[in-house]
Chains A and B, each alone.
Chain A
Amino acid sequence: MTLHQTLADTMGQAKADPALSGIIKLAVLAVGGQGGGVLTGWIEDLARANGYAAQATSVAGVAQRTGATVYYVEMAPHRAGDPVPVLSLMPAAGDVDIMITAEMMEAGRAIIRGFVTPDRTTLITSTHRALAVSEKMVPGDGIADSAEVMAAADIAARRFIAHDFDTLAIKNGSVISASLFGALAGSGALPFDRAAFEAAIRAGGKGIEGSLRAFGAAFEVAANPPEAEEPAKAAAQKTGVSGPAHLLAEWNRLAARVAALPEQVAELAQLGLRKVVEFQSLAYGADYLDRLASVQTCDSAAQGWALTREAAKYIANAMAYDDIIRVADLKTRARRFDRIRSEMRVKEANVLHLTEFFHPRAEEIVGLFPARLGAKLEADPKWMARLTRWFDKGRRLRTDSLPAFVTLHILGGLKFWRPRTLRHAQEQAHLARWLDVALSQVGQNYDLAVELIRCRRLVKGYSDTHARGLSKFDRVVDASLTIAHRPDAADWCRRLREAALKDEEGKALEGAIATIRSFA
């Protein structure tokens, strides 16, 4: 929370004009469906019930359908019989006293539109995110940076009240309009007391109790802002492990090997080890640490162990690939069932039906075959067509019922079989090639080697998406190698990878590769 008191004193010119004293301009920027209309209605009723003339406007229309929507309220003290004040129908840049935004990026939008100014605006925002489609559809991480908006709001607003009012409302069995109304009350920005606000909610008549709870909680937050939240502790290390004694003993031996690694490597290797052991076995975990050790021999403390650290992360991801066995195992675990029951708020008296959506293709089926037989079938279009006919269709499995659960439970128990499968052979080969290529650059261009390790991020998803990921991975690696001699090769490799994560078809990647070709 910020208070630009000095600015308010030197720049509060509007307040100096007695002809306009008492007028309050309040805007609400919300996403369609957030109940901005309800909030506006409360504010309007509140003002009217307390001796103010109030006027509200909105631009509903299609913007209601999930788009950003503005609501605007103006109020001025008014005695019955006096001339009616002339109020504006829309907020103006630099002329908003209270700005309420029901989502973090909408706060950013309010700032962009000039509705938040240091001389006058109290900005109340919920810090939660309702992601825009453009952020969600990116194959990589396209989520906009809330920190930038927070920083800008600190500068732009006279007072800034920020909190996750959405979660707070849900926790109190209500919706965000109620918690924002509470925050408005708690901010003290309107000249009405708490009881008057609560009366407006009661007059509204719907879901009163939940609304009042959320209102009260938000009131406290806004009135007595909690100290700056502690930054969430970097990945609270969950090391708790249990199991049969002989397995635990072996685990402890592996854990000791991790502990012996440089600190920045161990941090990730510990998680990586856990991931591969969960995926397959302790022996597989030992294999992981061996591979890591071979990377470490090419690396040095002088480089900050960057290569090994990245390898610790991506080798684990590569070794714990997504096959039917892994998915079946994850889908049938008791913890998953517990988690779903609590997320879906299943009560004791309810019954839970659980439907999984599987669509195995011939590729996944041959992937389960022994490596040599599988490879042979995969190369034979006739056999692939046959397998497609037999297996390639959507399967909905009711994992709350015994037949489906047992099927998946058995599949999930096929870990002993996995090392012999075609898929495993393919994954191992890919892993080996990738590491070879990356490590071959260490001597010539250490930074490029690190970036090449990171390129493994591109391989993800299932079926077509997985194939596209692999192809992007190949293109990025190949293009990077053509300019491996250049000092900026690592930088280019990073740019290529980022381009590959920008869109599905790889248009940005193609553009970047074309650029490289022009000077390679």
Chain B
Amino acid sequence: MAERSFKAEVEHLRLGDGQTFTGEGILAITKALLENGVAYVGGYQGAPISHLMDVLADAEELLGELGIRFEANANEAAAAAMLAASVHYPMRGAVTFKGSVGVNVASDALANLASSGVKGGALIIVGEDYGEGSSIMQERSHAFAMKSQFWLLDPRPNLPCITKAVKDGFELSEASNTPVMLMVRIRSCHVTGSFPTRDNQRPKLTVREALSNPQSDFARVVLPPMSYAHEQDKIKNRWPNAEKFIRERGLNEVFGPKTAPVGLVLQGGMYNGVIRALQRLRLADLHGNSDVPLYVLNVTYPLLSSEFLQFCQGKDQVLVIEEGQPEFIEQQLTTFLYRAGSSVRLRGKDILPMAGEYTGQVMLDALTAFLKQAAPDMLPATVRAPNEDRPQIPDLTKTVPIRPPGFCTGCPERPIFAAMKLVQKETGKLQISADIGCHLFAALPPFEIGGATMGYGLGPAANAAFDGGGERRPVSIIGDGGFWHNGLSSSFTNMAFNKSDGVAVIVDNYYSAATGGQDIMSSRADNPTKATKHPITKALKGIGIDWVRQVDRTYDVAKMRDVLLEALTTDTPGPKVIVASSECMLNKQRREKPLQAKAIKDGRRVEAPRFGVDEDVCTGDHACIRLSGCPSLSLKKLDDPLRDDPVASIDQSCVGCGNCGEVADAAVLCPSFYRADVVHNPSAWESRMARIATRIIGWLQSRRAARRLNFEGTA
């Protein structure tokens, strides 16, 4: 079960001819897949396309009705490899993952696929995780299209255009026997809007039908001499066919006046940002009618020389607006102009920044600068000579703290890293490598654990150089998601085979949590269509790793610490692996809260734990926070002139995970914490005993109070 349920949205996927879909971009893409007769879909979750996977998982019933096969692939490579079904069979297939990292993982399969060529439309939907909100290194998926010769769509970011790109993508793929990558940026995935729907189409050939009539053709296998033929086929046939299709179907768009001294060439994804900048310069109206000609590249690879040169005709200067680096498009267009002997001046990254997201301000500044140089007459007077007297706004950059993502309230990973911090207090700093997933937040304060991340499932592999051991053992961390994605094969067999002396900690939170709580092999949930409940420890044993410790409650900080110390000091040779398991709190709360509320309502006995701090006992040294960072554990300034420092305070969002008490105990911090368990619907006996105890306690308290001075307003 994913973090968010899309059962309601799935109904939107049933809309038909003449109806209107209103919702998120990523769901619109899902709907478009169904409208275009896709036969199989798959992928691997990750922002910003997680919702696509989640909604497909929730839509299995509908997919079944249409005869569509859905795979929650083990990783992006598996997803891309699945497109092999379109090599020999005229079936449309689509897979999705995040770019550029997912494309990295998938690139082996994609390169083979692109070499073999496809018969049925093969669509790779990539959520380009670039710019604000991105969680990965800042790179472009564009390069993969160039190196493997498959086509790249970058549609204008509105629902009609994005869904049209799905249709165009399948058709382009079939017309050119080449896989097509549809790139959607973070905001395009989450943008809301509407588009007119069509009826869903059953695939012309279903995977079951294809299986009844197997096909093969050795000419499609990537082996010499066919592989040489594939390369020639790409250049001589597939590419020209693609160009022809793109030109004839008008996939790229031209807007604005026919004649003008300047023009803008832009990726489709940049369109709204460019229009907004033009609107702010009074050069476009609300509906995008622009005074400056625009050549919008909804297809960013391949580029069409003839179309581009035609656009350039009669213009003095053309500005290329291409986000990300290197500037592949600009280079290609420069070549076109040079080969054509054109005198048109091409501008681009000389005005726009080479690196970074093209935000509203960047776009406005660049267009202003370009037009000032190339066509100053077009600009309104206020822009040419600004005459503003804006008040000076104080600089707050030193005041406002950064707020990076971190562990959620009650996260089961927090105690693991608290334990690790305590271990390092004993052992000194350790060599620690990390993986991809929520656990990577441990690299930030207050834990600052883990100095490198080399990719999903590669945490322990990233410590391979230290496998030989030394004075202190190297430690690597990996999540359960990473373990099943690629970790078992790339990290753990690597450790086992090389007789690593290192320690690996597998953070098992029952889900692929960082991507939205999807089920994986070791998930504890019942999943009707997926095989879950496969313990990680069993897999480890299977590859010959014998020193394996399973910790079933990560909140037991002392135990976590002791197991880590044991792993670091044991004489046993070979890899030392700790599987630390507790359920992701976000998912647990979502699952249990309604059940608990119902149980209380039904009169069943429920204990609701929450932690608190005695503010008179807390001295305000914040040692607990340095071992926690929990959002619910915060500070409070006391109304007491005798106290300088704010004291710890726990707000009502506390879920009573237990970390505070465990840490106070394991790290010997202070006795300020207490846990309050409110028992709802206690038994009659329990209530009676509690009443008796309360009465005696009350008597003792008032007896003492009567013999001393009591001050108002104190505890």
Contacts and interface: CB of A to CB of B under 8 A. Distances in A.
B385 interface: no
14 contacts: A23-B286, A33-B409, A61-B186, A65-B405, A65-B514, A66-B406, A91-B360, A92-B359, A108-B400, A133-B444, A138-B622, A271-B640, A313-B641, A350-B679
A61 B515 CA distance: 8
Interface residues of B, number: 131
Contacts of B545: none
Contacts of A85: 286-288
B693 A461 contact: no
Interface of B: 22, 47-48, 129, 132-135, 157-158, 186-188, 190-193, 271-273, 275-276, 279-280, 282, 284-288, 359-361, 363-364, 382, 388, 390-394, 396-397, 399-409, 438, 441, 444-446, 514, 558, 607, 610, 612, 614, 616-617, 619-623, 625-626, 629, 631, 633-635, 637, 639-642, 644-646, 652, 661, 664-671, 673-682, 686-687, 690, 693-694, 696-698, 700-702, 704-715
Nearest to A94: B361
A134 B401 contact: yes
Contact of B407 (A66, A84, A242, A469): A66
A17 to B, nearest CB: 6
A116 to B, nearest CB: 8
Interface string A75-118: 01000000111111111111100000000011011011010111
B399 A145 contact: yes
Contact of A354 (B404, B441, B676, B705): B676
Given A133-B629, A463-B669, A93 B678 contact: no
A40 to B, nearest CB: 9
Given A67-B406, A92-B359, A361 B668 contact: yes
B690 A400 contact: yes
A55 B700 contact: no
A353 B676 contact: yes
Interface in A57-83: 57-70, 76, 83
Given A60-B133, A83-B287, A87-B272, A92 B669 contact: no
Given A60-B47, A108-B399, A141-B644, A405 B711 contact: no
A340 B674 contact: yes
A240 B711 contact: yes
Contacts of B676: 340, 344, 346, 352-355
A441 B397 CA distance: 40
Given A59-B187, A86-B272, A457-B645, A136 B625 contact: yes
Question: Which of B129, B388, B623, B679 counts the most chain A CB atoms within 10 A?
Answer: B623
Interface residues of A, number: 152
Contacts of B633: 136
A45 to B, nearest CB: 10
A8 B416 CA distance: 54
A61 B617 contact: no
Interface string A335-357: 11101100111100111111111
Interface in A463-504: 463-465, 469, 501, 504
Contacts of B280: 14, 92, 95
B217 to A, nearest CB: 42
A330 B715 contact: yes
A394 B681 CA distance: 30
Most buried by A among B276, B403, B652: B403
Contacts of A402: 693, 696-697
B608 to A, nearest CB: 9
Contacts of B665: 357, 359, 394, 396
B47 A394 contact: no
Nearest to A251: B709
- 6 A-B pairs closest in CB distance: A92-B360, A59-B133, A240-B712, A394-B665, A67-B405, A61-B47
Contact of A62 (B47, B188, B284, B667): B47
A61 B48 contact: yes
Nearest to B277: A92
Main SS of chain B's interface residues?
Answer: loop
Contacts of B625: 133, 136-137
Interface string A115-134: 01111000000000011111
A85 B635 CA distance: 46
A238 B135 CA distance: 51
A221 interface: no
Interface centre among B273, B284, B713 (most CB of A within 10 A): B713
Contact of A65 (B396, B408, B669, B715): B408
A149 B157 CA distance: 35
Contacts of A83: 287
B705 A351 contact: no
A267 interface: yes
A462 B664 CA distance: 10
B671 A57 contact: no
B21 to A, nearest CB: 14
Contacts of B631: 33, 66, 130
A144 B635 CA distance: 12
B641 A152 contact: no
A312 B712 CA distance: 21
Contact of A59 (B132, B158, B361, B388): B132
A247 B400 CA distance: 50
A89 B157 contact: yes
Contacts of B610: 344
Given A137-B445, A339-B715, A355 B709 contact: no
